[in-house]
Chains A and B, each alone.
Chain A
């Protein structure tokens, strides 16, 4: 039973290279970004999330909306475990897969095959299993013999196709996304869209940060609106 429970979470980013305390009051009125302030030691901090309480259960399709700097990405990163909240607690049951930066760790000089192993290792797949999946990946990405060429010879679209094909190899339980992924040309886009839809359907919890109201309407059954780090309405 997958489950996410966040209890009164706050996240502060310490800023070490500004001493702009005199600017503090002015900056606090900024329309975008988190709240700036200072902590007990007088250090400048940006409060990216403030007292967030959330409970997500199986079947939830959550759209996280809010203006730039409202804390959407930070929220996703807290859920993925990158940031441990400064205050509050978070409990997660289920395996988390993040599809936020799919081409992270890819190397332009390495061939497509090498990049499959590289990306695969980062995603936690072992070598043997990846070897058995190479055929599927190449087929789906439609790269043919290009898979033996260095990645730098690929067009941006081809690189994304490869990244997408690796990232969608396994069915995630909890899926984190930053906007709906659109990859490649018209043909591939349709294929990718279908696969992504399937994955989203089968995932037990989906959390997607987005600026698109249509997307929220079509795939989400819950909306979380963030404003300057706080949850405005659920």
Chain B
């Protein structure tokens, strides 16, 4: 690589990094806007955001009934698995699909005030994290119903959640930039996510797979690892070293590429809107 190329790469890396750093410094604004989004959605409803919890609970109940019977798995084992998996999947899909629209939805703000643009992605992540917090309340309830204990391994799920969010943030940022330029990508993303939902063990348990298929659907599926690092500790087992490794490498490589990409195209976002 020539010196010129290196200088260029360093320059765009710095531009990307500076914006992201500046956005974190204004976390308060991202927080206010994210909360505002949720408030707006449930304004004047008496239960407010707890509608999120209720509709998630109903969905889990229905799916649990159908698929638990279909796969002939004992409810005591299947329902906790489904609950955590589905809630995590909801977090993943909403962050990614809303991340696609992160910049386009904030068009009015972007065109009026000069802010670190990563704020708009932080807003999406924060908003969905709040929704996640409403949903995860269901899990202890499920444990209570089946008289299951909360295992001590659960503390590792916090670490898993951080790693998951790190990964989702770079994905949302990358998609956000791409989707601002190419307006067809959101459709493609939501379509692919729908496919991934069935390919990833969320409504079916991994041990149901024949050995060969498992290699592809589990080991080669990043979403499996991303869910596993939060779900497994909550269910009482530790995720494999391989899962931790995949998520760690994915976060590191993903962020490096995204920062470069973002640094290169950040200043174009306002023009593309």
- Which chain A residues have a beta carbon within 8 Å of chain B's beta carbons? 12-14, 16, 77, 80-84, 96, 98, 100-101, 104-105, 107, 109-110, 117-118, 121-122, 124, 126-127
Residue B76 is within 8 A (CB to CB) of chain A in the complex: no
> In the complex, are the beta carbons of B111 and A77 less than 8 A apart?
yes
Residue B245 is within 8 A (CB to CB) of chain A in the complex: no
> In the complex, are the beta carbons of A98 and B112 less than 8 A apart?
yes
**Residues in A whose Cβ lies below 8 Å from that of B33:** 105, 118, 121
Interface size on B, residues (CB 8 A): 21
> In the complex, are the beta carbons of B111 and A127 less than 8 A apart?
no
Residue among B32, B44, B109, B113 with max Cβ neighbours from chain A (10 Å): B113
Bound CA span A80–B115, Å: 10
Binary contact readout B1-31 vs A (1 if CB under 8 angstroms, 0 otherwise): 0000000000000000000000000101100
> In the complex, are the beta carbons of B112 and A84 less than 8 A apart?
no
> In the complex, are the beta carbons of A80 and B114 less than 8 A apart?
yes
Instruction: List the 6 closest pairs (A to B, CB-CB), nearest first.
Output: A81-B114, A84-B267, A121-B32, A109-B43, A121-B29, A101-B112
- Which chain B residues have a beta carbon within 8 Å of chain A's beta carbons? 26, 28-29, 32-33, 36, 39-40, 43-44, 108-114, 267, 270-272
Beyond A83-B270, A98-B113, A109-B39, 4 additional contacts (C-beta under 8 Å) are A84-B270, A117-B32, A121-B29, A122-B29
Bound CA span A77–B36, Å: 26
Partner of B271, one of A14, A81, A110: A14
Cβ of B54 to closest chain A Cβ, rounded Å? 22
> In the complex, are the beta carbons of A80 and B28 less than 8 A apart?
no
Known contacts A14-B271, A109-B44; A82/B113 CB under 8 A: yes
> In the complex, are the beta carbons of B44 and A82 less than 8 A apart?
no
**Residues in B whose Cβ lies below 8 Å from that of A83:** 270-271
